[in-house]
Chain A
Amino acid sequence: EDKVVQSPLSLVVHEGDTVTLNCSYEVTNFRSLLWYKQEKKAPTFLFMLTSSGIEKKSGRLSSILDKKELFSILNITATQTGDSAIYLCAVSGGGADGLTFGKGTHLIIQP
């Protein structure tokens, strides 16, 4: 059975700090790993990673995948209160063609 484990499950930091969110996975026939941000309702897409070692970057957010060690990290630098959200990691693969999600990391940025 496909599995995604995220850590930490919750994190409280101060504005301006840098955070690293972790995602490890087990999946047959891996295709891709995706990161989403969920504030209130709809998860919004951040990154899709398919190749090891290639960093994807968008503003203060970046992510990288290690397919040998089966994990990914999401970095957020110079955090702002608007970064407060649940960050979801998901993998695509296996037989079902849907995404398998982790429980998410609940990130709280204090002013």
Chain B
Amino acid sequence: DTGVSQDPRHKITKRGQNVTFRCDPISEHNRLYWYRQTLGQGPEFLTYFQNEAQLEKSRLLSDRFSAERPKGSFSTLEIQRTEQGDSAMYLCASSFGGPGYTEAFFGQGTRLTVV
């Protein structure tokens, strides 16, 4: 499978715990995006990387959210001290291109449930 891969597909955690999600983009794509999607809403942009550089992080929902892409390949999204309001689908997408925007391809998402 050469598409965008996310792991885990589902995560149930207790409030206050930390969680980490992984995204493996399409191999030749240099841009990687994280989105959050709640029920009845479209995906909400969180952050993105071009290679290993995080070029936008002001949209991260709080300082409990952080993302890394240490070698410009896979990325991780961490949520510390989870809250019930963090329950959502977390989607990763990747694309190839420079400053202009090209179509992004999405992974299957990680569904987080905070109990």
Binding site for B on A (CB under 8 A): 4, 31-32, 34, 36, 41-45, 48, 88, 90, 92, 96-104
Instruction: Given A32-B101, A48-B103, A97-B101, verify A103-B40 contact (CB < 8 Å).
Output: yes
Of residues 46 to 98 in B, which have CB atoms within 8 Å of A's CB atoms?
A: 46-48, 55-56, 58-59, 89, 91
B42 with A98: CB separation less than 8 A: no
Binding site for A on B (CB under 8 A): 4, 33, 35, 40-48, 55-56, 58-59, 89, 91, 100-109
Q: Apart from A98-B35, A101-B44, list 13 A-B contacts with CB within 8 A.
A: A41-B89, A43-B91, A44-B106, A45-B104, A45-B105, A98-B33, A98-B46, A98-B48, A98-B59, A99-B104, A101-B43, A103-B42, A104-B42
Instruction: Compute the total of residue contacts between A and B using a CB distance below 8 Å.
Output: 61
Residues on B with C-beta less than 8 A from A4 are: 42
A43 with B106: CB separation less than 8 A: yes
A99: nearest chain-B partner, CB-CB: B45
Residues on B with C-beta less than 8 A from A45 are: 103-105
Smallest distance from the beta carbon of A92 to chain B beta carbons, Å?
A: 4
Smallest distance from the beta carbon of A83 to chain B beta carbons, Å?
A: 19
Residues on B with C-beta less than 8 A from A36 are: 106
Instruction: Given A92-B101, A97-B56, A97-B101, verify A42-B108 contact (CB < 8 Å).
Output: yes
Taken together as a complex, chains A and B put the C-alpha atoms of A34 and B44 apart, in Å, by 15
Residues on B with C-beta less than 8 A from A88 are: 42-43
B3: nearest chain-A partner, CB-CB: A42
Instruction: Given A41-B108, A90-B42, A103-B42, verify A96-B100 contact (CB < 8 Å).
Output: no
B44: nearest chain-A partner, CB-CB: A101
A sample of 21 cross-chain residue pairs with beta-carbon separation below 8 angstroms, ordered by A number, consists of: A34-B103, A36-B106, A41-B108, A42-B109, A43-B43, A43-B106, A45-B103, A45-B104, A45-B105, A88-B43, A90-B43, A92-B101, A96-B56, A96-B59, A97-B55, A98-B33, A99-B104, A100-B45, A101-B41, A103-B41, A104-B41
User: A43, A45, A92: which has the most chain B beta carbons within 10 Å?
Assistant: A43
Taken together as a complex, chains A and B put the C-alpha atoms of A98 and B54 apart, in Å, by 12
